[in-house]
Structure 1
Amino acid sequence: MQQELRFASFNVCNLALPGMKYYDDQIPYSSEEYDVKINWIAQQLDRLDADVIGLQEIFSQDALKDVLAKTQNYRDAQLIGFDPDPLTDHLTPSVALISRLPVSPGAVIYTELPNNLSVTLPGVHHPVSRFTRPILHATIEIAPDLLTHVFVCHLKSKLPDYRNDNNDDHPDQAGIAMLRSLIRRGTDALGLRTLLSNVNKKKRLPIIVMGDFNDVASAIPTQMVMGLGKYPLDGIDDRLFESYRIQSRRDALRDVGYTHVHDGIYETIDHILVSEEFNPASRAAIGEVAEVMYLNDHMTFKQPQASDHGLVLVRILLHGKSLPDTTSSGMPDVPLA
């Protein structure tokens, strides 16, 4: 008998407490604006009715708790998240995970790039050795004795990375700023791919990665996360697959998927990636991505409380198969702060 699982990714757009200064160029929410905001997010969560939801642009876990209290379906769900570091030069939004499925102990955050990875940006003297926004990693029991790794990410945006202290006389400062952002996004992608390879070495489990990639699926940073150029070794394939492209019930007549609009261009930059265990074309499949849906009607009306991103919902059908020896999660010994 098949079991259906529902995973979703949701960039909520700047969830912060009323009066909280989250960006220098943004006016903090009033109490009234905050109430409208958290009610709208709560409605979207109930509309998704997903088992596991990855969220981005969370400035306050207390605000997210207020959201869950407004829902019908997630008041008793497990919330995993962390507040941004208030001691940093500028406040950076965080990610979070909501699960109605059991979450194994030992969920972690990654702030530092793995394996001593670092890069130098044009015009910047100090190398970058941290993710732009931390990566969240949890192990979730999706069926009895069947665990899966779940990662929630938010890669660097395309917003040009201008530096006020840059005295370079190069004529195209805008181009240099865009290049910095591209390098940062690529570095985030490489760091995330390294994390995925590391957990596979510790313990082979299915993997789901979801979040705001700030790029389309065919872009190099996204494909780096997916494992561009990798091929199965010893019968094991550690590449990831974009759920939209492998869904078994894709309907071209209603193919209107997009999650972001910028300068009149409709793009899908929020993705849910899955390992071969959920790819129906794989001999190792224990389930399949049955359908991918985009909830984006709110983007047409542009209400102030609404997100500027569409929501991604993936339906996965388990086939009743199980993986051998899945009792260990293979989590690193870094507890969630």
Structure 2
Amino acid sequence: MNWGTLTVATCNALNLALPGRVFYENQEPYGADEYRRKVAWLGQQLRRLNADAVALQEIWDLAALRDAVAESGLSYHQVLAPGTESGATGTPRVALVTRLSLETVTSHAAFTPAAVIDVPEVGRHDHFERPVLHAVLRTKQEQKVHVLVAHLKSKRPKFLLNAAGESLEDRDDPRVAARATLRSLIMRGSEAVALRELVVSLLHNTRDPVILMGDLNDAPHAVTSQIVAATSAVAFDREARDTALFHAYDVQSEPALRRDVAYSHVHQGSPETLDQIWVSEEFVTSSRFALGDVRRVEYFNDHLHEGRDRTRSDHGFVRALLRLRLP
């Protein structure tokens, strides 16, 4: 059988912003030298990944991303980060860098009414804090592929603040912290529902493959991740494959390549897989609609153990080699 290949990767860049630019009030902006080291390091990682399509998170300035891409020395003719052209405000944005042909790109911020929810003491949550990027690409084999890039709400407790950004709650009270964590969970859950609706709209009764990449801020089998993917439903209803997503690591066709280093973040000494790549059944060999497979998935996380330095990311990067059957 003849195969074409498609390599995809996801990277949380950790606050990629221009020098001198204040991105969070409680953090110093990058100096010129620190900025040069950050874009050089990220460019080196992009070169190492050498993927056809790279999803990135925590991008504040499109110009900074372009500098990192230039540092990679690779030819990426599409560098997309909606909402960062003049600098993002409030929260960083997601991005996509690709050498593939781009048909359309859309940024999804607002929820449909079904995903809107009231968060205790906070109020109506009706939009993604970091809008989801949806790109329609054409592979080298002229296969149409939908790529979604997401960065869901973090697990960080959502404490109540006044208009000046000062805390209204006792952050040292464990009961207050528990309720603040619940608020974050509810927000991430509603974002998962909204993302699920987008996934279903792309997959239902179609055969165009979908790839979801990004920082979902939870484990692949956590409830919020499964709201998005609904993989567990497949065990009880094979028809559910039509709108399910499959964790690329779990369905790779070379299981011998699985390793115990498959994590992308270390929180208080515990490894976690927050950064993920999901594929629709068109890349699952057991599906009768398979157009190819996930050959292997690799984790690039050595830098997580090299000390904390904000010129490097605090997340590991994930790369998947996908294959497509040629006619």
With normalisation by structure 2, the TM-score equals: 0.90
State how far apart, in whole Å, the 1-side matches of 2:270 and 2:133 are. Answer: 30
Are the equivalent residues in 2 in contact too, given 1:247–1:290 (CA < 8 A)? yes
Where structure 1 has 5 or more consecutive residues not aligned to the other structure, the ranges are: 322-337
Query: What is the Cα deviation at residue 71 of structure 1?
Result: 1.6
State how far apart, in whole Å, the 2-side matches of 1:192 and 1:79 are. Answer: 23
Query: What is the Cα deviation at residue 230 of structure 1?
Result: 3.9
CA distance 1:228–1:315, shift in 2 (3 Å): closer
Are the equivalent residues in 2 in contact too, given 1:116–1:129 (CA < 8 A)? no
- In structure 2, the partner of 1:333 is none
- In structure 1, the partner of 2:48 is 47
* Pairing 1:132-281 to 2, within 5 Å after superposition: 132-165=129-162, 172-201=175-204, 203-228=206-231, 230-231=233-234, 237-251=242-256, 254-281=259-286
Name the SS of the counterpart of 1:316 in structure 2.
strand
Are the equivalent residues in 1 in contact too, given 2:192–2:228 (CA < 8 A)? yes
Percentage of pairs with the same residue: 38
Name the SS of the counterpart of 2:297 in structure 1.
strand
More helix by share: 2
Are the equivalent residues in 1 in contact too, given 2:78–2:97 (CA < 8 A)? yes
**Cα deviation per residue 1:23-70 (whole Å; 9 max; x = unaligned)?**
111110000000000000000000001000000000000111111121
Are the equivalent residues in 1 in contact too, given 2:257–2:296 (CA < 8 A)? no
State how far apart, in whole Å, the 1-side matches of 2:141 and 2:110 are. Answer: 33
Are the equivalent residues in 1 in contact too, given 2:61–2:85 (CA < 8 A)? no
Where structure 2 has 5 or more consecutive residues not aligned to the other structure, the ranges are: none
Query: What is the Cα deviation at residue 164 of structure 1?
Result: 1.9
Please point out which of 266, 269, 283 is paired with 2:288. 283
State how far apart, in whole Å, the 1-side matches of 2:311 and 2:52 are. Answer: 24
| Residue 315 (str. 1) matches residue 321 (str. 2) | yes
State how far apart, in whole Å, the 2-side matches of 1:115 and 1:197 are. Answer: 16
| Residue 21 (str. 1) matches residue 22 (str. 2) | yes
Query: What is the Cα deviation at residue 85 of structure 1?
Result: 9.5
Query: What is the Cα deviation at residue 121 of structure 1?
Result: 0.5
Query: What is the Cα deviation at residue 257 of structure 1?
Result: 1.0
Query: What is the Cα deviation at residue 225 of structure 1?
Result: 0.8
- In structure 1, the partner of 2:79 is 79
State how far apart, in whole Å, the 2-side matches of 1:87 and 1:7 are. Answer: 26
State how far apart, in whole Å, the 2-side matches of 1:212 and 1:253 are. Answer: 21
**Cα deviation per residue 1:153-204 (whole Å; 9 max; x = unaligned)?**
0000000000124878998211111001101111111100001112234854
Q: Which amino acid aligns with 1:138?
A: A
- In structure 2, the partner of 1:101 is 100
Are the equivalent residues in 1 in contact too, given 2:160–2:168 (CA < 8 A)? no
Are the equivalent residues in 2 in contact too, given 1:132–1:184 (CA < 8 A)? no
The range that moved more, 201-210 or 174-183, is 201-210
Are the equivalent residues in 1 in contact too, given 2:4–2:324 (CA < 8 A)? yes
Name the SS of the counterpart of 1:184 in structure 2.
helix
State how far apart, in whole Å, the 1-side matches of 2:199 and 2:142 are. Answer: 21
Query: What is the Cα deviation at residue 80 of structure 1?
Result: 1.5
Are the equivalent residues in 1 in contact too, given 2:196–2:228 (CA < 8 A)? yes
Are the equivalent residues in 2 in contact too, given 1:107–1:138 (CA < 8 A)? yes
- In structure 2, the partner of 1:335 is none
State how far apart, in whole Å, the 1-side matches of 2:11 and 2:302 are. Answer: 14
Q: Which amino acid aligns with 1:120?
A: D
**Cα deviation per residue 1:130-169 (whole Å; 9 max; x = unaligned)?**
1121000001112444201000000000000001248789
Are the equivalent residues in 2 in contact too, given 1:257–1:268 (CA < 8 A)? yes
- In structure 1, the partner of 2:38 is 37
- What is the RMSD computed on CA atoms of the aligned residues? 2.4
**Cα deviation per residue 1:81-133 (whole Å; 9 max; x = unaligned)?**
12359899x620100001111111x3100010134531101112x31111121
Are the equivalent residues in 1 in contact too, given 2:204–2:242 (CA < 8 A)? no
Are the equivalent residues in 2 in contact too, given 1:136–1:153 (CA < 8 A)? yes
Query: What is the Cα deviation at residue 241 of structure 1?
Result: 0.2
State how far apart, in whole Å, the 1-side matches of 2:32 and 2:256 are. Answer: 43
With normalisation by structure 1, the TM-score equals: 0.88
- In structure 2, the partner of 1:110 is 108
The range that moved more, 10-19 or 278-287, is 278-287
**Cα deviation per residue 1:221-258 (whole Å; 9 max; x = unaligned)?**
11111025545676962100000011111236743111
Between Structure 1 and Structure 2, how many residues are aligned? 317
State how far apart, in whole Å, the 2-side matches of 1:27 and 1:281 are. Answer: 51
Q: Which amino acid aligns with 1:79?
A: V
Are the equivalent residues in 2 in contact too, given 1:123–1:168 (CA < 8 A)? no
Query: What is the Cα deviation at residue 73 of structure 1?
Result: 1.3
CA distance 1:63–1:256, shift in 2 (3 Å): same
Are the equivalent residues in 2 in contact too, given 1:85–1:91 (CA < 8 A)? no
State how far apart, in whole Å, the 2-side matches of 1:101 and 1:179 are. Answer: 40
- In structure 1, the partner of 2:12 is 11
Query: What is the Cα deviation at residue 304 of structure 1?
Result: 3.5
